[in-house]
Amino acid sequence: MAALKQIADRYDSHGEVDLAGFSGSLATYAVSLGALVVASRATGGAPARYSMTDLLLGGVATHKFSRLLSRGSVTSPLRAPFTEFEGAAGASEHTESPRGDHGVRHTVGELLTCPFCLGVWVGTAYVAGLGVAPRAARAWAAVFTVTGVADFLQHAYGRLRED
């Protein structure tokens, strides 16, 4: 434990980065990934390869779903225990910050306010879903890809109308 504190002090002498919290998040991700590997093996293993269609649709769906979870005004009740509202960010989105400086609440708040961070978790679940329940994973991807494309078109249409 003293060695970890020494590393943390060398990395961030002012204690601004919650290394312990982020370490816990990484450990949770690693355990979750291990569980997904076990589940995948129990159901016949991961696919030998993934189709480009699955990857492209999954990429768009992961983007949309991660953005919805991390910024959507409608999903703010899920983030509220871990974040503080800062303001509206347009297009039904909020800007929020994690609660506290350290600890589990702060770490979860960091994850829930970062679409890039959530994207790793969501993308992992989607790829695992392709191995365990491909029809359900593809249905999920289809819903959020269609929604993401529709959002893009709404923004494009709005911009065209402004001119």
pLDDT of residue 5: 72
Share of residues in the chain with pLDDT > 90 (%): 55
Reply yes or no on whether the pLDDT at 150 is more than 80. yes
**Type of residue numbered 86:** E
Give the span between the Cα atoms of 23 and 10, in whole angstroms.
16
pLDDT of residue 58: 97
Q: How many other CB atoms are found less than 10 A from the CB of residue 66?
A: 21
pLDDT of residue 123: 97
Structure confidence by residue, pLDDT tens digits, 39-86: 777 877 777 889 999 999 999 999 999 999 999 999 999 999 999 999
State the DSSP code for 72.
B
- Among 96, 87, 88, residue whose Cα is nearest residue 69: 96
What sign does the dihedral 126-130-134-138 (CA atoms) show? positive
pLDDT of residue 1: 65
69 Cα distance to chain centroid: 7
HSE on the CB side for 73, CA within 13 Å?
A: 9
58 or 91, greater pLDDT: 58
Structure confidence by residue, pLDDT tens digits, 98-121: 998 888 898 999 999 999 999 999
